[in-house]
Structure 1
Amino acid sequence: MASAITTLAADAPTLSAANTGFMLICSALVMLMTPGLAFFYGGMVRVKSSLNMLMMSFVSLGIVTILWVLYGFSLAFGTDSGSLIGWNSDYVGLSGIGITELWDGYTIPVYVFAVFQLMFAVITPALISGALADRVKFSAWALFTGLWVTVVYFPVAHWVWGAGGWLFELGVIDFAGGTAVHINAGAAALGVILVIGKRVGFKKDPMRPHSLPLVMLGAGLLWFGWFGFNAGSWLGNDDGVGAVMFVNTQVATAAAMLAWLAYEKLRHGSFTTLGAASGAVAGLVAITPAGGAVSPLGAIAVGAIAGVLCAMAVGLKYKFGYDDSLDVVGVHLVGGVAGSLLVGLFATGGVQSDVAGLFYGGGLEQLGKQAIGVFSVLAYSLVASALLAFLLDKTIGMRVTEDDEVSGIDQVEHAETAYDFSGAGGGASSRSTAAPAPAASKKVDA
């Protein structure tokens, strides 16, 4: 008996300084993705909406952090109840956790796991905001964010990643958030925009990005932070799986960017910077669920397929008439669905698990499990998000007035503007001696 106890004690995980430090760095990288998303979205809207777009992402860092500490971590990763939700009173307020207490079966503290997962919870509602640009009250958005993570994100995170969650137990593979983050956010975006309606001037007025350099900066920050998002989701790298995920993240993103650019060149005749940025994000989305199950060659296939599918999907809003302002549905929902389903085709059975996809002799079983995960999360998020938006719209109102939307939501909601053009020409003396500028040069596309 004594020798058995000694053996068990020797096999028990002990705190790893290397893994703990790695996961803290990954957590910081994922946190950086939310400001990166703010720049990505902020550059894609018109001047008069850019600050509001930045704030809709940035405020998630405040709201979701507090709710996660109070009860979100407990709901998502506490002891399972009915395969639908978790709860652990020790996790409420993070008050009953020892500073060296290890996360179940791993070599990192519970605190480190909690803060890493917090950053996922923060960015997911921020992803939704891009579909609602130009027309939502900031106060209504803040309230929606708090309600949505409570009703939708925390339960879905438990389904997918929580011990005992029904999709986790089913065997759905979602390495870092294809279902829990991207399909969840994309379906929510579709549900909300179907409730609140289109922007004034949709399909009539030009609504061009006001700053493509900001878009590219945001895409670069997202790409950089995504290495923490993906590689960190293995919670360490003792066996090399995190390193494979890191490589696959880079490979799939590159393939998706090139595929998107090739598609738009053939379809529209140009290689655009917006296409390059959007293609990169599409690849990042698609490899998120799949990257721990596929080889680098499989990652190329996942990225290229997602790049083309998402490039095609962004035009659907004009065909079907839903106003997805910044293509959250076209990129995150479609990219998340593609990446999650492609696991069932390209999983090698030799990376994160021994589960093989159809192309590696595994048959259709895993593809069926992936489809259940994809469409259950999609349906729940779509319906629940639409109901939340409907209730808020009928009580406090979700939208600003038409006049406020036309004049500019930044000034109305935040009493600020993104750029001060009043001093652009220098001092009074320099303006008095300069030739008057042509009227056209003073025009700003708002």
Structure 2
Amino acid sequence: MSLNLTGTPTGTGTGGDTLNTDLNTQFDMANMVWAATSAALVWIMVPGIGLLYSGLSRKKHALSLLWASIMTAGVVSFQWFWWGYSLVFSHNTRGNGFIGTLEFFGFKDVLGAPSAVSSLPDILFAFFQGMFAMVTGILMVGGACERARLFPMMVFLFLWITIVYCPIACWTWNGEGWLAVLGSLDYAGGGPVHISSGHGALIYALILGKRNDPVAKSGTPKYKPHSVTSVVLGTVFLWFGWFGFNGGSAGNATIRAWVSCVSTNLAAACAALTWMFIDYFRFGRKWTTVGLCSGAIAGLVGITPAAGFVPVWAAVIIGIVTGAGCNFAVDLKSLLHIDDGLDVYALHGVGGAIGSVLTGIFAADYINDSAGSYAAPIDGGWINHHYKQVGYQLAAICATVAWTCVVTAILLLILDRIPFLRLRLRPEEEELGTDGAQIGEFTYEDDEMYIPEPVRSKASAQVPHPGEAIDDKIGAGSNSDEGTSSDQPENPEKVTV
């Protein structure tokens, strides 16, 4: 039986009845393949950030940051389905472009009608943009490094994406958003992704307070990364995935998408070298691997708002300036006395702001128009003699920073006053490590790591090492005919992992 596809796409709602209408005729298949591939590339960035964060942390907290990346993929995917996509990309907004409606609540009618990017159907655009929300979420929770309770983190993440990220993304990327109408330019997320996550992480770290450091009683705690290998692997995932992050943001498979991919790679390379050379002269004349990786990420952040607007040569300048700026911004945590152990603010908050300003300088109308018939004309930046574009960029930065900092602080302070949503680990839990205290599993098997267990009998049970008799382990703590019974053993019961 063949389908009788004689209907005409409606362009609204679901786009038409799939039983009698071929909704695919509205779209170019190559555009859809590239957007879907890009979405998959962006997804791999989420565990990539987990690997990066895990490598930068101490060993006893390493698994919790890998856990956070997979948790973020779960929580934000559900939030995006539930109402996130609708709040950002509904076809109508409320409050003069402040927030979307619940038109697409629960992905209602999200199928084959043209989306906010007319070259893609709603269902594909929702899939692609959901990955951006996930990346923003995992970046932001990095501010809680090594001291946050995990259930409150999940609750906070769901609310933060709803109340902080969704409005900012709507302002910036929805055609009716007030920053879009004002004229600010943000190609792939300098404001909604990086500035918001960087400042959100900064406030999260501020309200949680400094990590307990038994050695340094004052100042910001500093620890060496426990696994530089994980840092490198996480950076590889990020650099690779960023080709989808920026390349896919064109919304089509045009020359503009390929320009943005080349600019992305070049900015990352120049920033990596810049950071490494600065560290060489600042810190002991060593060619540090962590510095090389940090610089690459700074360059990727800086080029994000600019990639589809600026000439390729401008990516060199953006990479160098962002790499240098973020390198020195790392010192701000000591000046601010805020323990941002993973430098989320320096890399993403500062890097995103630098990239946004440089977008206002180097944006070129001819690069934007390389998208051909898909292009929405722009006036460009300073190189097009459109000097007030930098003012629009600064307005977007200030609005994003103000909304993120104020709303994040209010949200965290409210949650921390709800008894079962206390944000921070207790001192003894922090000393044990988030992995042992909150997860009960570890990145590495270590005989010296213990999980406290409740006492269930008068006998103290301990899991034997290979080759040891179980009776020897249990007999040492059990009652004998010559001993006296006790409701509690002399030592707390523990299980070796």
Question: With structure 1 as the length reference, what TM-score do the two structures score?
Answer: 0.89
| Letter of the structure 2 residue corresponding to residue 275 of structure 1 | G
Partner of 1:381: helix, strand, or coil? helix
Whether 2:99 is the aligned partner of 1:85: answer: yes
**2:356 aligned partner:** 340
Residue type of the partner of 1:81?
A: R
Within a 5 Å distance, the mapping from 1:19-38 to structure 2 comes to 19-38=31-50
Match for residue 314 of structure 1? Answer: 330
Distance 1:427 1:64, change over 3 A: same
Write the distance in 2 (CA, Å) between the matches of 1:66 and 1:361: 43
Pairs within 5 Å for 1:31-430: 31-78=43-90, 79-82=92-95, 83-89=97-103, 91-98=104-111, 100-104=112-116, 106-201=118-213, 203=219, 207-238=223-254, 240-268=255-283, 269-352=285-368, 353-358=377-382, 360-395=383-418, 396-422=421-447
Contact 2:263 2:312 in 1 (8 A): yes
Distance 2:408 2:45 in 1: 23
In 1: Cα distance, 2:94 partner to 2:113 partner? 23
Give the aligned partner of residue 433 of structure 1: none
- 1:274, CA displacement in angstroms? 0.6
One-letter amino acid matched to 1:346: F
Q: Which amino acid aligns with 1:111?
A: I
SS in 2 for 1:244: helix
Q: 1:188 to 1:104 in 2, by over 3 A?
A: closer
User: How far 1:428 sits from its partner (Å)?
Assistant: 5.9
Task: Work out whether residues 172 and 373 of structure 1, in 8 Å CA contact, stay in contact via their aligned partners in 2.
Answer: yes
Aligned to 1:8: none
Offset at residue 237 of structure 1 (A): 2.0
Contact 1:38 1:53 (8 Å CA) reproduced: yes
SS of 2:151 mapped into structure 1: helix
Larger % of helix: which? 1
Are the counterparts in 1 of residues 117 and 125 from structure 2 also a CA contact under 8 Å? no
- 1:102–1:278 distance in 2 versus 1, CA, 3 Å: same
Query: Aligned equivalents of 2:165 and 2:199: distance in 1?
Result: 12
Deviates more, 1:56-65 or 1:300-309: 56-65
* % identity of equivalent residues: 36
Pick closer, same or farther for the CA change 1:93–1:294 going to 2, 3 Å: same
Q: Deviations over 1:130-179 (max 9, x none)?
A: 22111000001001001101111111110000121100111111000000
**Distance in 2 between the 1:337 and 1:13 partners?**
40
Q: 3-state DSSP class of the match of 1:293?
A: coil
Residue type at the aligned position of 2:442: T
| 1:271-298 Cα distance to aligned partner (Å, 9 max, x none) | 2111011100000000000111111110
> For residues 311 and 267 of structure 2, what CA distance do their matches in structure 1 show?
10
Instruction: For residue 411 of structure 1, give the secondary structure of its aligned residue in structure 2.
Output: helix
**1:70 Cα offset (Å):** 1.2
Structure 1 residue 15 corresponds to structure 2 residue 27 = yes
| 2:116–2:174 Cα contact (<8 Å) kept | no
Q: Whole-Å Cα distance in 2 between the matches of residues 17 and 204 of structure 1? A: 52
AA paired with 1:266?
F
Distance of aligned partners of 1:206 and 1:88 in 2 relative to their CA distance in 1, 3 Å threshold = closer
The whole-number CA distance in structure 1 between the counterparts of 2:363 and 2:172 is 18
Letter in 1 for 2:435: D
Say which is worse superposed, 58-67 or 366-375, in terms of deviation. Answer: 58-67
CA distance in 2, matches of 1:94, 1:13: 22
Report the counterpart of residue 440 of structure 1 in structure 2. none
- SS of 1:350's equivalent in the other structure is helix
Distance in 2 (alpha carbons) for counterparts of 1:185 and 1:18: 32
Q: Which amino acid aligns with 1:149?
A: I
Q: Which AA in structure 2 matches 1:29?
A: L
Q: Distance in 2 between matches of 1:116 and 1:150?
A: 18
Question: Which has more radius of gyration?
Answer: 2
- Quote the Cα distance in structure 2 between the aligned partners of 1:71 and 1:103: 16
Take 1:213 and 1:421, find their aligned partners in 2: how far apart are those partners? 19
CA contact (8 A) 1:13 1:107 kept: no
Measured in 1, the distance between the counterparts of 2:40 and 2:411 equals: 31
Partner Cα distance (1:227, 1:85) in 2: 29
Q: CA deviation at 1:194?
A: 1.8
Contact residue 67 and residue 146 of structure 1 kept, 8 A: yes
Could you report, residue by residue, the CA deviation over 1:252-285 in whole angstroms, capped at 9, with x for unpaired residues? 0001001101111121122211101110000000
How many residues align structurally? 414
Q: Pick closer, same or farther for the CA change 1:147–1:279 going to 2, 3 Å.
A: same
Q: What is the CA–CA distance in structure 2 between the aligned matches of 1:167 and 1:205, rounded to whole Å?
A: 38
CA RMSD of aligned residues (A): 2.1
Q: How many Å separate the matches in 2 of 1:104 and 1:291?
A: 20
Q: What SS is found at the alignment partner of 2:417?
A: helix
Residues 175/105 of structure 1: CA separation in 2 closer, same or farther (3 Å cut): closer
8 Å Cα contact 1:187/1:381 also seen in 2 = yes
Gaps of 5+ in 1: 1-11, 430-446
- Alignment CA distance shift 1:204-1:144 (3 Å): closer
Query: What amino acid does structure 2 have at the position aligned with 1:411?
Result: G
Q: Counterparts of 1:344 and 1:264 in 2: how far apart (Å)?
A: 29
CA 1:390 to 1:104, structure 2 compared with 1: closer, same or farther past 3 Å? closer
SS in structure 2 at match of 1:134: coil
Q: Which has the higher contact order (CA 8 A, sep 6+)?
A: 1
Cα shift at 1:205: 5.8
CA offsets per residue over residues 373-399 of structure 1, 9 Å max, x none?
011101110111111111111212100
**Structure 1 residues 402, 236: closer, same or farther in 2, change over 3 A?**
same
Cα distance in 1 for partners of 2:31, 2:221 equals 52
TM-score by length of 2: 0.80
Deviates more, 1:360-369 or 1:334-343: 360-369
